A and B are shown apart, each in its own frame.
Chain A
């Protein structure tokens, strides 16, 4: 996003955030969406765009631990925040229990919703280590999956919850 001229004035701003534990800083257009900042400016393409209207959740990332749909959030709104994307989910060389759960329980097919789905699940488990099926279904209801029918996604989150409780 280097070319900035339009018929109207263009505003740029310095953004300072921490993304997946790393301090990142860039001069960006104020209208730049968070998802484009992550995908285009930082090259973190694991965050996807599915609908442009905050409906599908493919673009979900964690901003200070809270799931945020990055396709309808300006990057500048996250100034000073800690952002986690799918690329930051796993410890080095390993897998996060949620990632493991999605693989073990066949919780993904095309993989497009998976990063957003996993980040929402991670936020749920941080708050509620032993969620019921109803609580899982409610927590994930802002993330659309077109392939799996959700049943295995629920199982994936239950797998992760059990694993995390075991480990804690």
Chain B
């Protein structure tokens, strides 16, 4: 067999293998699944943010022809299912029993023959509520005498959830005492929502004959969800099969377990028929995992142009149930990456969380466990500091960057950064933007009364959790498995524990196997999402697929290659020590004409193995990362402000990313552009807000604004490559870098346009009215 064709492994922009079905409308999303006898679930949701439930009368709904059952919290309580655990060790109501605690909370569920009847029936359920005072901010929640939202929890006498600290308080106080100058920033990272285009939902099918529960559900972490289902419902784990089919986006929204999954499964179990739950958009926006809602206060202690210390105080609005998706080790997620890309000798972080009458969540919207908030704060702070000492924001960053020779670098809050060259990434971004020229243009424009702003963000992210001994979710070690089978004809199936939501795993992971074993990516089928047929692992979020699962795929391939080498030695009648692996084949050193390919070896593995060797060519590898990975980059944004309206327009966006080795550069760039768009959206328009009664403003796509092709700017991309020293391929993960890094760059740009007039802050989303008010305040309005 000739193997002259170049193997399209790592570094090739292979066109996506999964596209074939999507462009033909042949994707298989959960809502495309119809099972015989399937029923439909529709929720009655609370109109109040905080109210006691006095009674529920479902008789008219139950009497409607086509309605099979109405499920209430009371019914679930009889099966101990009215409450479920959250990812943060709290509890969450599946269906409300005593009180409703946020607007949109699930109160009852109708199970009917079709969704139209189910919706009709929901309107016939009568609930008698006694409204209570709604708490809509953590400040209000922690005030003296505030009504206790979680009064059902034993020992819970107020709305406080946790207090947590990291870093060295004493050393930090000392740094501040000796500072030349202290710079402060108070800012709020508003509540936003990942809003994947496909809402959440499931088809739960509990087979009455076998007792097996097959649940097709929108899950970014099917294995973890299976284990949680087993623990919640008391079902034996081998009798639960979670299938996460094609997902129409996730961005963290499909990490938690929602009441819909639980009620649909319980209903299927009780009724003996499959039950489908399709969340509508309003349900998605008002009840499922939101992101951010973080009040932040940061201070930098400055010694000349160097940062000597960082002090941070945070207040988190967690909604009615504490369900942050985060590793158990750190209660504010990975906020303690807050020192960013800077060599800051002393830092101290304090954070408190509070219950409010808002939807629970605290998921990471395209971010790793609160890294976005941390990155935003430090990048806004360094820009503020630069203005205060009269330094150029780029030069101030450069003076304080962790230097390449300092890696591996131990941060003041205890992280070990694996590798980085922050100056190189910033230099490239500045050059691409034409920073010096643009600064001159800005000065000239000001003379003519025009306002241009330039914003930078030189972010560092921490992704790829575990390692498993330290990082766990719900007690489960954060590692991932990969299983690889090479069939006799040299075609392969790779089974993974993670689950793509658009990231292109079927291509990228096939390329990893291609690289390691000399197969073409088209000859590797990647399978994910079915817990009966894939190895265990914690799933896809926090940019962990490539750092963890990608490493598992490389390692299982290498394990197979080791066996392949023994078979090759047998086929070539040579000693293993005399073989070399090059260009996707084993050959005898010094005699390249004596060689064999993986296809020949695969066939021999089932037909002609050496004496004493076990047949077959397959393996499993569980990868427990030794450390997390630290992607970084610099984003540079230029904006122009309309002095007559406060509207700001993006003129340029330059994004230089360093995510280590890029497996599929095309897919990496696609991830970055998508992330930049979501970062822009958060900076400019996305907002889940509430009125004083706890009514959600942002409950549909007319109120919760998402950028279209019309508003979204164009992006200019660049790359530097600093491999991760501990990842087998040198890769770091990239899915979230742009969402983590870019909001600060956009906001910094708008601030920069008005910085000469003393403006230091805008709160996101930076809408025209806020800029207009500032223009008026500083006398620059036209």
Partner-B contacts on A (CB < 8 A)? 1-3, 5-7, 29, 31-32, 39-40, 44-53, 55-56, 58, 85-87, 89-90, 95, 99, 102-104, 106, 108-115, 118, 136-138, 140-154
- Interface check B248, CB cutoff 8 A: yes
Contacts of A118 in B (CB 8 A): 23
Q: Are B709 and A141 in contact (CB under 8 A)?
A: yes
CA A95 – CA B19 in complex, angstroms? 12
Contacts of B418 in A (CB 8 A): none
Q: Are A111 and B120 in contact (CB under 8 A)?
A: no
Q: Are B673 and A112 in contact (CB under 8 A)?
A: no
Name the contact of A7 in the complex, choosing from B18, B124, B281, B503 (C-beta under 8 A): B124
Name the contact of B25 in the complex, choosing from A46, A52, A137, A151 (C-beta under 8 A): A46
Name the contact of B23 in the complex, choosing from A1, A114, A142, A144 (C-beta under 8 A): A114
CA A167 – CA B714 in complex, angstroms? 29
Bitwise, B697-729 to A at CB < 8 A (1) or not (0) is: 000111000101110101100000000000000
Contacts of A115 in B (CB 8 A): 25
- Interface check B379, CB cutoff 8 A: no
CA A87 – CA B701 in complex, angstroms? 27
Closest residue of B by beta carbon distance from A7: B64
CA A55 – CA B114 in complex, angstroms? 25
Name the contact of A103 in the complex, choosing from B15, B120, B670, B706 (C-beta under 8 A): B15
Closest residue of A by beta carbon distance from B250: A110
Q: Are B27 and A111 in contact (CB under 8 A)?
A: yes
- Most chain A beta-carbon contacts within 10 A, residue among B113, B198, B199: B198
Q: Are B673 and A151 in contact (CB under 8 A)?
A: yes
- Interface check B116, CB cutoff 8 A: yes
Contacts of B26 in A (CB 8 A): 46
Q: Are B25 and A112 in contact (CB under 8 A)?
A: no
Q: Are B19 and A103 in contact (CB under 8 A)?
A: yes
Q: Which of B57-107 contact A (CB under 8 A)?
A: 60, 64-66
Least Cβ–Cβ distance between A53 and chain B, in angstroms: 5
Q: Which 6 A-B pairs have the closest CB atoms?
A: A46-B25, A112-B248, A111-B22, A110-B502, A86-B25, A109-B502
CA A7 – CA B709 in complex, angstroms? 44
Contacts of B670 in A (CB 8 A): 106, 109, 147-149, 152
Given A87-B25, A109-B502, A109-B504, check contact A53 B700 (CB 8 Å). yes
Contacts of A138 in B (CB 8 A): 709-710
Q: Are A154 and B709 in contact (CB under 8 A)?
A: yes
Contacts of A58 in B (CB 8 A): 197
Contacts of B114 in A (CB 8 A): 1-3
- Interface check B24, CB cutoff 8 A: yes
Q: Are A99 and B502 in contact (CB under 8 A)?
A: no
Name the contact of B701 in the complex, choosing from A48, A51, A110 (C-beta under 8 A): A51
- Interface check B251, CB cutoff 8 A: yes
- Interface check B532, CB cutoff 8 A: no
Q: Are A102 and B19 in contact (CB under 8 A)?
A: yes
Contacts of B196 in A (CB 8 A): 110, 112, 146
Given A31-B116, A109-B502, A141-B708, check contact A52 B280 (CB 8 Å). yes
Name the contact of B710 in the complex, choosing from A55, A87, A137, A145 (C-beta under 8 A): A137
Least Cβ–Cβ distance between B668 and chain A, in angstroms: 10
Given A106-B670, A142-B708, check contact A48 B24 (CB 8 Å). no
- Interface check B766, CB cutoff 8 A: no
Q: Are A3 and B65 in contact (CB under 8 A)?
A: yes
CA A103 – CA B20 in complex, angstroms? 8
CA A50 – CA B282 in complex, angstroms? 11
- Most chain A beta-carbon contacts within 10 A, residue among B23, B60, B673: B23
A to B CB contacts below 8 Å, 22 in the list: A3-B117, A5-B117, A6-B64, A45-B29, A51-B281, A52-B280, A52-B281, A52-B700, A53-B702, A55-B700, A55-B701, A58-B197, A99-B24, A103-B23, A106-B16, A110-B197, A111-B22, A112-B29, A114-B23, A142-B708, A144-B706, A146-B674
Closest residue of A by beta carbon distance from B28: A45
Q: Are A111 and B248 in contact (CB under 8 A)?
A: yes
Question: Total interface residues on B, using CB and 8 Å?
Answer: 65
Q: Are A44 and B25 in contact (CB under 8 A)?
A: yes
Contacts of A111 in B (CB 8 A): 18-19, 21-23, 27, 246, 248, 502
- Interface check B249, CB cutoff 8 A: yes
Q: Are B674 and A147 in contact (CB under 8 A)?
A: yes
Contacts of A47 in B (CB 8 A): 25
Q: Are A144 and B25 in contact (CB under 8 A)?
A: no
- Interface check B288, CB cutoff 8 A: no
Q: Are B197 and A56 in contact (CB under 8 A)?
A: yes
Closest residue of A by beta carbon distance from B664: A106
CA A106 – CA B508 in complex, angstroms? 13
Q: Are B673 and A148 in contact (CB under 8 A)?
A: yes
- Interface check B53, CB cutoff 8 A: no
Contacts of A153 in B (CB 8 A): 709
8 additional A-B residue pairs with CB within 8 Å, beyond A106-B669, A148-B673: A32-B116, A106-B15, A112-B29, A113-B197, A114-B22, A143-B708, A151-B712, A151-B714
Q: Are A140 and B65 in contact (CB under 8 A)?
A: no
- Most chain B beta-carbon contacts within 10 A, residue among A7, A114, A146: A146
Contacts of A112 in B (CB 8 A): 27, 29, 196-198, 248-249
Q: Are A48 and B29 in contact (CB under 8 A)?
A: yes
Contacts of B275 in A (CB 8 A): none
Q: Are A53 and B281 in contact (CB under 8 A)?
A: yes
Q: Are A1 and B281 in contact (CB under 8 A)?
A: no
Q: Are A104 and B15 in contact (CB under 8 A)?
A: yes
Least Cβ–Cβ distance between A90 and chain B, in angstroms: 7
Name the contact of A6 in the complex, choosing from B15, B117, B199 (C-beta under 8 A): B117
CA A162 – CA B282 in complex, angstroms? 40
Q: Are B502 and A29 in contact (CB under 8 A)?
A: no
CA A139 – CA B248 in complex, angstroms? 23
Contacts of B709 in A (CB 8 A): 136-138, 140-141, 143, 145, 150, 153-154
- Interface check B296, CB cutoff 8 A: no
Given A56-B701, A138-B710, A146-B195, check contact A106 B116 (CB 8 Å). no
CA A63 – CA B196 in complex, angstroms? 27
CA A87 – CA B60 in complex, angstroms? 41
Least Cβ–Cβ distance between A115 and chain B, in angstroms: 5
- Interface check B677, CB cutoff 8 A: yes
CA A110 – CA B500 in complex, angstroms? 8
Q: Are B502 and A86 in contact (CB under 8 A)?
A: no
CA A89 – CA B26 in complex, angstroms? 12
Contacts of A109 in B (CB 8 A): 249, 502-504, 670, 674
